[in-house]
């Protein structure tokens, strides 16, 4: 349209489009065109470009963009650092992420809860759970006080290491502060108990959860499959009963594992009862005699 010129929002959209496609020569042309019209890239322009470069693994170019930003009127913001830290942690470059976090603080760019959650996730992923707990404790009572997401990250990290006593203690601490656990919390704990062969604890957690909220298949499946692997079929059937009473129907993996475990154990009565139950749920066809 005559007399209608692109603004910074339009240019940023083009930067986003071309960089997502990995067409960085086109991105450069967009930025040159932007400059030729007397405009300057803003934080959104740079953040968009950095996000794309990280996704493509162009770390040297990311560092170059960060240097350019520091020399302009659009220095890196907390959003910039959050994008950078997230990419570094996901790539296993935790040391570099911590270094950039230090730079962020030095530059008086205040970290927010997303910054800390990202670092916590990186620490837990790399097995630095003690450092993660220290960071969590440091956040308590600050403007970035830990919430559900923060606790879930550390609980999951503890569960993956098999430190279930600490994971449950952290869960109880969270609940004591009025933070309500969600499906992620419960799945992490259930999976952790199963992985650590603490199936009784997993069952107790399931019972506790079922009295408070609707539980998804994932938590039940984890416990039932674990019990079947340990040939504790009678307990697995009890969990199945709890599952049905909670109005949660088993999926194919659950009933297949149970049928196999019952058959392998020579439990003829249980085998027949289980088949009848599954027929009732319409997950199996009636036996043909």
Q: Is the pTM of this model over 0.75?
A: yes
- What ranges do the domains of the chain cover? 182-289
For 113-130, what is each residue's pLDDT tens digit? 999 999 999 999 999 999
| 1 compared with 239, residue with greater pLDDT | 239
- Whether 87 shows a pLDDT value over 90: the answer reads yes
- CATH of the structural domain 182-289, one choice from 3.90.550.10, 1.25.40.10, 3.20.20.70, 3.40.50.300: 1.25.40.10
Could you tell me the sign of the dihedral formed by the alpha carbons of 198, 129, 133, 82, in that order?
negative
Token pair of 192 as six digits: 């952790």
The pLDDT of residue 288 is 43
- Whether 281 shows a pLDDT value over 70: the answer reads no
- Distance from the Cα of residue 46 to its chain's centroid: 26
- Whether 177 shows a pLDDT value over 80: the answer reads yes
Torsion angles phi and psi, residue 132, rounded to 5 = -65, -45
- pLDDT exceeding 70 applies to what percent of the chain? 90
- Whether 2 shows a pLDDT value over 70: the answer reads no
pLDDT-based confidence at 134, cuts 50/70/90? very high
Mean pLDDT rounded to a whole number for the chain: 86
- When pLDDT is averaged across residues 252-256 and rounded to a whole number, the result is 79
CA distance 68 to 62: 10
Token pair of 133 as six digits: 């707990």
The pLDDT of residue 289 is 38
């Amino acid at each position: 349209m005559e007399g209608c010129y692109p603004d910074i929002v339009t240019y940023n959209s083009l930067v986003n489009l071309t960089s997502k496609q990995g067409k960085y020569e086109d991105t450069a042309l967009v930025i040159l065109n932007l400059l030729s019209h007397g405009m300057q890239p803003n934080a959104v322009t740079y953040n968009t470009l950095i996000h794309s470069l990280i996704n493509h693994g162009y770390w040297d170019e990311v560092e170059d963009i960060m240097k350019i930003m520091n020399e302009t009127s659009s220095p890196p913001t907390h959003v910039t650092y959050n994008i950078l830290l997230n990419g570094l942690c996901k790539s296993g470059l935790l040391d570099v992420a911590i270094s950039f976090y230090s730079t962020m603080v030095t530059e008086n760019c205040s970290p927010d809860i997303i910054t800390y959650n990202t670092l916590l996730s990186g620490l837990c992923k790399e097995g630095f759970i003690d450092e993660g707990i220290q960071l969590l404790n440091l956040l308590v009572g600050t403007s970035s006080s830990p919430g559900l997401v923060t606790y879930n990250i550390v609980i999951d990290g503890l569960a993956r290491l098999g430190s279930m006593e600490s994971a449950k203690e952290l869960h109880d601490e969270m609940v004591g502060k009025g933070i309500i656990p969600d499906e992620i919390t419960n799945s992490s704990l259930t999976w952790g108990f199963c992985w650590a062969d603490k199936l009784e604890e997993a069952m107790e957690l399931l019972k506790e959860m079922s009295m408070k909220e609707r539980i998804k298949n994932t938590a039940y499946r984890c416990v039932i499959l674990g019990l079947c692997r340990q040939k504790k079929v009678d307990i697995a059937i009890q969990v199945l009963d709890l599952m049905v009473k909670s109005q949660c129907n088993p999926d194919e993996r659950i009933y297949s594992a149970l049928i196999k475990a019952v058959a392998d154990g020579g439990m003829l009565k249980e085998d027949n009862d289980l088949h009848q139950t599954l027929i009732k749920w319409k997950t199996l066809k009636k036996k043909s005699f």
